[in-house]
Structure 1
Amino acid sequence: MNRLAGVTSPYLLQHADNPVDWWPWTPEAFEEARRRDVPILLSVGYAACHWCHVMAHESFEDEAMAAYLNEHFVAVKVDREERPDIDAVYMEAVQAATGQGGWPMTVFLTPKAEPFYFGTYFPPEPRHGMPGFRQVLEGVAAAWRDRRDEVGEVAQRIVRDLAGRSLRMTDARPPSAEELHPALLELTRDFDAVHGGFGGAPKFPPSMVLEFLLRHHVRTGSEAALEMAQATCEAMARGGIYDQLGGGFARYSVDARWTVPHFEKMLYDNALLCRVYAHLWRATGSVMARRVALETADFLVRELRTAQGGFASALDADSDDGSGHHTEGAYYVWTPDQLRQALGEADAQDAADWFGVTEEGTFEGGASVLQLPDTERLMDATKLASVRDRLLRARDMRPRPGRDDKVVAAWNGLAIAALAETGAYFDRPDLVQAAVDAADLLVRVHMDFHGRLLRTSLDGTAGGHAGVLEDYADVAEGFLALSQVTGEGVWVDFAGLLLNTVLTHFTDADGALYDTADDAETLIRRPQDPTDSATPSGWTAAAGALLTYAALTGSDPHREAAEQALGLVRQLAGRAPRFIGWGLAVAEALLDGPREVAVVGPPEDPATRELHRTALLSTAPGLVVAVGEPGPAEDAEVPLLAGRPLLDGRPAAYVCRRFTCAAPTSDTKALAAQLGR
């Protein structure tokens, strides 16, 4: 066992028995490189990364390769999900130097942590125009030995270039309604009208853009926005990217038709998409959206929930194919013969027709990824349900993909919001309870009384790495959604602690946000990225949580900080809307008010529950809801409830927007009308 044996990251533990003498990212690793006068090999990946596994098997498990690596380098392994700050800084350098990025990320550093040579996956021998990993190691070692001055100059130039990329808020005005229109036009130009989604292959689920489109449709009545959202959600739900048997979405589709996925399933994708489909149902009543939202929520609880009540990070793409070989997609794909074995001849033919399973296959080795491309032909819903159940039971007998049990604070925050809302919309108290349990774990294990967060835990034990901006923002978002569903004000209080930390430690004097706290470990650059990737950026997620918190509490500093953060969204809206989708969605909430709804009444009173449900089902882009008992202002669990009495002794709802309030009402139809439904 090497030095990774005692860590809490499942990804690092996968490498603990490599012959490579791996170090975790620690000061001692860099001190060792200085002592030996050798460069650092930094290898960054994550547990569900297919090509990380390939490179590990080909190179890091090879005794001769490891021996050369150990002799000439200090090897440092980093889990990008545990240390997104390290990943972000060096990925920026990789992309600037090579024009592309990805994982595994392979970077060579000086003992001062300055990067000077970059790459991603390297095969063990030269292949497809790529140098072999041994060639790379030998070339870097020779450059370090023979051209040290040149290496040092390159490294210093890269560090200077990265240091000059910090963002400054020269104009902190949030976007106006007119300034959001170019974003819609740009998305329309990039929309795939045939297959849904945006751009070509590979295609990633555009979760944050879909949230913007739904909110924009409600505010403006834009049919184009709704049609893009509906078509994309329909195409993904029918395609191979969606697990037609067990629910849940794969990471992305390798083709433009959503047919063949990269099979890893990530917590963050499924949390975001669960919420998108629930919101699509709320806006349209779509039966498909309701089914997918619930199936995805059930997948989260069934497959990713940990024994401690949190949610694990991911399921691997690879699994044992039954012959002892780990193969991508083995758990999910089917051949006609496998259908016959599971269902019998007659039902297998129907299943093949329904799910698009052919002799030629749509994946490797004649296997097919299940799709549901033509629901109009499915005349026998009962039989379809039976076939799906039998196939799922047969699939459960296969070797399962590995699971990364690491609990990431930010992604659990996203899951809490999704499960709380989905449970409330569809009368599933079990889903709401799952959200409460996850929130409780975050408070007990990840959070201290000063409002500081740790990013990860494993088996109920916190890791040692500080939370980054997305952790604070997404956990606050989850807590605020949970409070709006349950009426428990304590979640607003916890969110306030986290957001105060954002204002104190992550925000510059001009309103710019950084991804790490001002007292975090110093890297070659303080990471700062306002654009969405697979999840909302910490910057835009913070803007959304700050805005919601301000609406619930009346806090001017939090609203001002949200508006300042949205200034960058205004600058990017027309140029890169696909990469600022969550910021656009938050801007829609600001333009809507936000729409503040206070529901007062005894929680056991059916009238209170009906008013609360009516409020939660509003499609208002800036909807913020508080529910609780009437009473003195000083006793209100959530400030939005303060000074709101019953109406003639009956439960009542108060709707306010842009500092103006409508007349209170006890009638659900009147409330729906006030909320634009």
Structure 2
Amino acid sequence: MEHQTFEDEQAAEYINEHFVSIKVDREERPDLDSIYMKAIQVTTGSGGWPLTAFLTPDCKPFYGGTYFPPEDRHGIPGFPKLLKSVSDAYINSRSEIDKHSVKLTEHLEKMMNNSGQINKISESTLKVAFDSFYSEFDHEFGGFGTSPKFPQPVNFEFALRYHIRFQDKDSLRVVEESLTHMANGGIYDQIGGGFHRYSTDEKWIVPHFEKMLYDNALLTSLYLHVYETTKNQFYLEIAEDTLSYVKREMLDQDGSFYSSQDADSEGIEGKFFVWNHEEILEHLGEKEGKIFAEYFGVTANGNFEGKSILIKPNYHQNISPENNHELLKSINLSKEKLLKARNTRIPPETDKKIITSWNALMMKAFSEAAITTNNPGYLKIAKSNAEFLTNKLYKSSILYRTYQNGEPKITGFLEDYSFLIDALLKLHEASFESKWIEIAVDLCYEMVNLFWDDSKGTLYDTSTTHETLVIRPSEWTDNAIPAGTSLAVEVLLKFSVILDEQLFNNIATRILGSMTKIVEQFPSASGQWLNAIDFYTSNNPEITIVGSKANKNTQMLLDEVYKTYIPNKILIGINQKNSNISNLAFTKYKQSILNQPTAYLCQNYECDLPTNDPKILYKQLMKIQ
């Protein structure tokens, strides 16, 4: 609509004469997007973007929709005609519009306020949800439903946790088949790494070519978790290739991560990413070019508007490093050559806006990669990002949403707080540096003070210091990223254990109890809620390692912890040189034995005997798994 409608001089003139136009970046203002998207969904029965909302002067919605063409098309009124109709109605039927806007706003407020019955929280909700997921699973191509297909990493994370909890083979198959199809399809950038936004077809071949920071963060973490569960090197390679892409194209020199890259370059979607057969042969030569073209499904006719999106059509064949060393060596060399060639093209535009919550997701992904691979380069990037966020976007106990032109702007939303707390906890686990836990603790208390309304039993998306809106939004739906509330519940549960803070437990339990029936009714929109329920209903390992991260014996203890994926563990490291966090409820009285790195494994503060022996720690872990 931006190009087709708003840049039309006649339309712009009419808009400026009859309306006050406000363009909102929904990434900067998810609060406004949540309010007015729900208004459109209520009034039209559907939603999406671009979002067009018509408001009264006091910002109450009364009409709207998504895409409106420049002229009448397929039963959709053209935008100029719509503008005239809305303007006429507002002038001639103002009282009716005011009444409608008030009723609609009151309805939205009731929708946002989920302070109803508190139900029992049990693992039965997990089983109800997975049965629903499995009924939607595409057994041929992976993923859920038909086209368009979105990666939905939070839902796959739940399916993976379900497998670990119940040793359920179907749930692992759902995850593995989906991740394999995605990584071998066109939704994955086979040359440069990283995932595109979604697939327009059910086979994951033709993507919408936009790349989002949050997708690549969540998918990296997911692929790492599946690698830790299965030890299949393929998943680790995809995760590391994705991080290489982020480091190369989305990482600023100040340590922050950019938000996204556009789908189009030179006005054509996908132009930067697609190839024709002749280009492949020109850059690689006849012999290597033919090998590469066959491997990645490049044909003379192509699979996308006469050109080819690179895919691996024969991925199901056993092409492993052990039995195809020379082939894979040739493919990797060819990928390097084509990446260099592609970089001479005009690239899609990068949105260099810095968003706290999205940065936190990627910080967590790099921290997890550091843990999984022991690669200090990943930890360096994660720490650099944490330094940036806590120094530039966290000032005078206020966390900010975005950073542009050297200044933070817009006070943070609930998701900014909960995502950053979660990431800092993981960064502490990777580094053993106490300051990350200390900052996370402060953020937890500030999050409760700013967003929790005890009278309503609600964690709102906006803080008490935020500007007053027509309603105070509280988004419960887990979409491409988790809802701020659902992740806040899990981090509050974790820190209630770390601090023995009953307030955090009470808040999280109250919210979770009010959500169980909704989660059972809408499981596909509740992936992180399900993960929180999994955490709440599990006997979670509470692990304290006392010892320097640089000590090889400390690392030997950690190697036992990370032999498999334990999603619900809490791990705190006490570096003997810095005991700032040694008096937490979680760590109190835990000291090294015989002046050697020592592990404490507990559940509900009841601990096994501390040990310096990695083999004994492993046996303790297996006993509670």
**Fold in common (TM above 0.5):** yes
Which residue of 2 is the match for residue 372 of structure 1? 312
Deviation at 1:616, TM superposition (A): 4.2
- Is it true that 1:342 corresponds to 2:289 in the alignment? no
Deviation at 1:561, TM superposition (A): 2.4
Correspondence list, 1:540-555, <5 A: 540-555=486-501
Equivalent-residue separation in structure 2 for 1:71 and 1:631 (angstroms) = 68
Which residue of 2 is the match for residue 358 of structure 1? 299
Deviation at 1:657, TM superposition (A): 1.3
Per-residue CA deviation, residues 76-132 of structure 1 (Å, 9 max, x unaligned), is: 110000011011100000111112212211111111112122121222122233221
Q: Which segment drifts farther, 566-575 or 489-498?
A: 566-575
TM-score by length of 2: 0.94
Which residue of 1 is the match for residue 328 of structure 2? 381
Q: Which runs of 5 or more structure 1 residues have no equivalent in the other structure?
A: 1-54, 321-325
Which residue of 1 is the match for residue 137 of structure 2? 191
Indicate if the aligned counterparts of 1:356 and 1:372 stay in contact, CA closer than 8 A.
yes
Correspondence list, 1:207-606, <5 A: 207-320=153-266, 326-363=267-304, 365-375=305-315, 376=317, 378=319, 379=324, 380-450=327-397, 452-463=398-409, 465-509=410-454, 511-606=457-552
Indicate if the aligned counterparts of 1:173 and 1:563 stay in contact, CA closer than 8 A.
no
Alignment partner of 1:149 out of 82, 90, 95? 95
Equivalent-residue separation in structure 1 for 2:91 and 2:113 (angstroms) = 37
Indicate if the aligned counterparts of 1:650 and 1:666 stay in contact, CA closer than 8 A.
yes
Indicate if the aligned counterparts of 2:182 and 2:204 stay in contact, CA closer than 8 A.
yes
Which residue of 2 is the match for residue 323 of structure 1? none
Q: Which segment drifts farther, 517-526 or 237-246?
A: 517-526
Equivalent-residue separation in structure 2 for 1:294 and 1:666 (angstroms) = 32
Please tell me the residue identity of whatever aligns with 1:214: L
Provide the aligned length of Structure 1 versus Structure 2.
615
Equivalent-residue separation in structure 1 for 2:46 and 2:497 (angstroms) = 41
Equivalent-residue separation in structure 2 for 1:90 and 1:470 (angstroms) = 18
Which residue of 1 is the match for residue 39 of structure 2? 93
CA spacing shift, 1:440–1:557, aligned 2, 3 Å: same
Per-residue CA deviation, residues 210-245 of structure 1 (Å, 9 max, x unaligned), is: 111222211211111111111111111111111111
Please tell me the residue identity of whatever aligns with 1:373: P
Name the SS of the counterpart of 2:105 in structure 1: helix
Indicate if the aligned counterparts of 1:506 and 1:516 stay in contact, CA closer than 8 A.
yes
Equivalent-residue separation in structure 2 for 1:173 and 1:664 (angstroms) = 38
Per-residue CA deviation, residues 273-306 of structure 1 (Å, 9 max, x unaligned), is: 0000001111110111100111111222211112
Equivalent-residue separation in structure 2 for 1:667 and 1:390 (angstroms) = 48
Equivalent-residue separation in structure 1 for 2:421 and 2:277 (angstroms) = 47
CA spacing shift, 1:170–1:98, aligned 2, 3 Å: closer
Please tell me the residue identity of whatever aligns with 2:439: F
Name the SS of the counterpart of 1:626 in structure 2: strand
Indicate if the aligned counterparts of 1:251 and 1:269 stay in contact, CA closer than 8 A.
yes
Name the SS of the counterpart of 1:196 in structure 2: coil
Equivalent-residue separation in structure 1 for 2:383 and 2:563 (angstroms) = 20
Deviation at 1:612, TM superposition (A): 2.6
Deviation at 1:618, TM superposition (A): 4.2
Equivalent-residue separation in structure 1 for 2:486 and 2:109 (angstroms) = 22
Deviation at 1:174, TM superposition (A): 5.9
Please tell me the residue identity of whatever aligns with 1:602: S
CA spacing shift, 1:347–1:191, aligned 2, 3 Å: same
Equivalent-residue separation in structure 2 for 1:538 and 1:314 (angstroms) = 20
Identity, in percent, stands at 36
Deviation at 1:602, TM superposition (A): 3.1
Per-residue CA deviation, residues 575-618 of structure 1 (Å, 9 max, x unaligned), is: 22211111111222223332111011233321012213432454
Q: Which segment drifts farther, 640-649 or 233-242?
A: 640-649
Indicate if the aligned counterparts of 1:172 and 1:563 stay in contact, CA closer than 8 A.
no
Correspondence list, 1:591-630, <5 A: 591-630=537-576
- Is it true that 1:60 corresponds to 2:42 in the alignment? no
Deviation at 1:178, TM superposition (A): 2.6
Please tell me the residue identity of whatever aligns with 2:141: H
Equivalent-residue separation in structure 2 for 1:335 and 1:538 (angstroms) = 43
TM-score by length of 1: 0.87
Deviation at 1:179, TM superposition (A): 2.9
Equivalent-residue separation in structure 2 for 1:523 and 1:598 (angstroms) = 44
- Is it true that 1:128 corresponds to 2:69 in the alignment? no
Deviation at 1:672, TM superposition (A): 2.3
Equivalent-residue separation in structure 1 for 2:288 and 2:197 (angstroms) = 30
Per-residue CA deviation, residues 500-542 of structure 1 (Å, 9 max, x unaligned), is: 1221221221532211113321211111121201100011110
Deviation at 1:436, TM superposition (A): 0.9
Per-residue CA deviation, residues 238-289 of structure 1 (Å, 9 max, x unaligned), is: 1111111111111111111111111111011110000000011111101111
Deviation at 1:569, TM superposition (A): 4.2
Deviation at 1:543, TM superposition (A): 1.1
Deviation at 1:415, TM superposition (A): 0.8
Deviation at 1:140, TM superposition (A): 1.6
Please tell me the residue identity of whatever aligns with 1:156: V
Indicate if the aligned counterparts of 1:169 and 1:567 stay in contact, CA closer than 8 A.
no
CA spacing shift, 1:634–1:430, aligned 2, 3 Å: closer
CA spacing shift, 1:633–1:444, aligned 2, 3 Å: closer
Equivalent-residue separation in structure 2 for 1:144 and 1:171 (angstroms) = 40
CA spacing shift, 1:632–1:539, aligned 2, 3 Å: closer
Equivalent-residue separation in structure 2 for 1:274 and 1:226 (angstroms) = 17
Please tell me the residue identity of whatever aligns with 1:394: A
Name the SS of the counterpart of 2:600 in structure 1: strand
Equivalent-residue separation in structure 1 for 2:481 and 2:90 (angstroms) = 38
Please tell me the residue identity of whatever aligns with 2:210: E
Indicate if the aligned counterparts of 1:588 and 1:621 stay in contact, CA closer than 8 A.
no
Indicate if the aligned counterparts of 1:174 and 1:569 stay in contact, CA closer than 8 A.
no
Deviation at 1:477, TM superposition (A): 0.6
Name the SS of the counterpart of 2:239 in structure 1: helix
Deviation at 1:369, TM superposition (A): 1.4
Name the SS of the counterpart of 1:186 in structure 2: helix
RMSD (CA atoms): 1.9
Indicate if the aligned counterparts of 1:634 and 1:642 stay in contact, CA closer than 8 A.
no
Alignment partner of 2:108 out of 162, 175, 178? 162
